């Protein structure tokens, strides 16, 4: 154990039950080693209300910390080791433009139910709550989209067009049932009003980590290891998902990896997702099966959370000098409402 890791262990022991560390699966091993709980967005959201510690340290990107702050109990503080750890996808949906689009879509009297992927900012979650919509994760996107489709005339799914289409296909919607909106600074681009009668309207965002995977990479994997099994995250392009054996949330990918290692020893499994998770699963299954990734796709924002920054955060908490994550008071209730809808529907 190096000096930084030892210092984190020591100060965490001193703080005891007063601090609880959450870590997303995309964090590297040096961070995961110190987490009290790791998980995907849904797992970590569900556990926040049950945490008793006064201080929650969230090792992930900014929108995840905001989600934890919304669900935390009064008096609890949520801390991010790096406040600049944003999410490219979440920044693809500026709230001011999203509000313009919703106003334009509802101007004709149609009821539009917004459904926001959890990879969005607090102001987007608040806007969604205001318009009667909800939030979803990759694990419950199907259940939430099925719910949203029953609430009105159309669903505005934002920001991930790939997750939206992949989920729609699983609900047996056809290509004629959805439309990817063209957006500019004024809201809908010219002519888009002709397409709003579709049941599913998609915001044109995506995850830069999962969009890197291509059909050619899947073909190359099968050529290199005939008979291999390939899994992907549903934020990947639809044409990639079509060429894989299965797709699902991070929790699904982990569960399937463990099952594959148990049932198919000596075989090869490819997983198209963030590389830190693939590497951790490969280490866990070493000697039973081989787990590979088509490419080393690493999230640079997740990587901003380092062991030294985690140590600094814990040190500041111990000295009473920490700066917890602040959320806009006016946005708390509508944003919490959108999250609560998800947790209640998917309980």
pLDDT value, residue 197: 87
| DSSP string across 35-47 | -SEEE-HHHHHHH
Could you tell me which of 324, 105, 295 has the C-alpha nearest to residue 201?
105
pTM of the model: 0.90
pLDDT value, residue 327: 84
What does pLDDT average to over the chain? 93
Task: For the beta carbon of residue 285, count every other beta carbon within 10 angstroms.
Answer: 18
Q: Over range 234-255, report the average pLDDT.
A: 96
pLDDT at 43 over 90: no
pLDDT at 15 over 80: yes
pLDDT at 253 over 90: yes
Give 141's Cβ-side CA count (13 Å radius): 30
Give per-residue pLDDT as tens, 25-34.
999 999 999 9
- What is 90-206's CATH number, 1.20.1530.20, 3.30.479.30, 1.50.10.10, 3.40.50.10800? 3.40.50.10800
Outline which parts of the chain fall under CATH 3.40.50.10800: 3-86+302-326, 90-206, 215-292
Where does 3-86+302-326 sit in CATH, by number? 3.40.50.10800
Could you tell me which of 226, 237, 231, 288 has the C-alpha nearest to residue 255?
231
CATH class of this structure's domain 215-292: alpha beta
Q: Over range 109-114, report the average pLDDT.
A: 95
Give per-residue pLDDT as tens, 51-103.
999 999 999 998 888 888 888 888 899 999 998 888 889 899 999 999 999 99
Q: Over range 310-337, report the average pLDDT.
A: 90
């Amino acid at each position: 154990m190096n000096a930084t890791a030892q210092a984190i262990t020591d100060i965490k022991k001193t703080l005891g039950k007063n601090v609880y560390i959450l870590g997303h699966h995309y964090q590297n091993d040096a961070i995961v080693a110190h987490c009290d709980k790791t998980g995907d967005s849904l797992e970590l959201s569900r556990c926040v209300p049950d945490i008793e510690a006064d201080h929650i340290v969230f090792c992930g990107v900014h929108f995840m910390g905001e989600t934890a702050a919304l669900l935390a109990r009064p008096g609890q503080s949520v801390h991010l080791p790096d406040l600049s750890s944003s999410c490219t996808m979440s920044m693809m949906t500026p709230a001011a433009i999203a509000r313009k689009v919703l106003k334009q879509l509802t101007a004709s009297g149609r009821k539009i139910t917004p459904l926001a992927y959890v990879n969005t900012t607090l102001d987007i979650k608040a806007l969604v709550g205001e318009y009667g919509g909800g939030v979803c994760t990759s694990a419950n996107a199907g259940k939430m989209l099925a719910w949203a489709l029953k609430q009105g005339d159309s669903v505005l799914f934002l920001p991930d067009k790939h997750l939206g289409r992949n989920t729609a296909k699983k609900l047996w919607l056809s290509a004629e049932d959805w439309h990817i909106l063209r957006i500019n600074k004024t809201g809908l681009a010219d002519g888009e009003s002709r397409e709003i009668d579709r049941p599913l309207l998609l915001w044109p965002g995506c995850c830069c980590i999962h969009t890197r995977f291509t059909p050619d990479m899947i073909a190359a994997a099968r050529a290199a290891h005939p008979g291999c099994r390939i899994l992907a995250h549903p934020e990947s392009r639809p044409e990639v998902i079509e060429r894989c054996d299965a797709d699902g949330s991070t929790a699904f990918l982990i569960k399937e990896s463990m099952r594959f290692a148990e049932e198919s020893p000596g075989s090869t499994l490819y997983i198209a997702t963030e590389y830190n998770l693939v590497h951790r699963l490969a280490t866990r299954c070493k000697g039973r099966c081989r787990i590979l990734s088509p490419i080393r796709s690493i999230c640079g924002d997740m990587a901003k959370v380092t062991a030294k920054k985690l140590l600094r955060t814990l040190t500041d908490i111990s000295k009473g000098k920490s700066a917890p994550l602040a959320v806009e008071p006016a946005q708390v209730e509508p944003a919490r409402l959108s999250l609560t809808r998800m947790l209640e529907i998917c309980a």
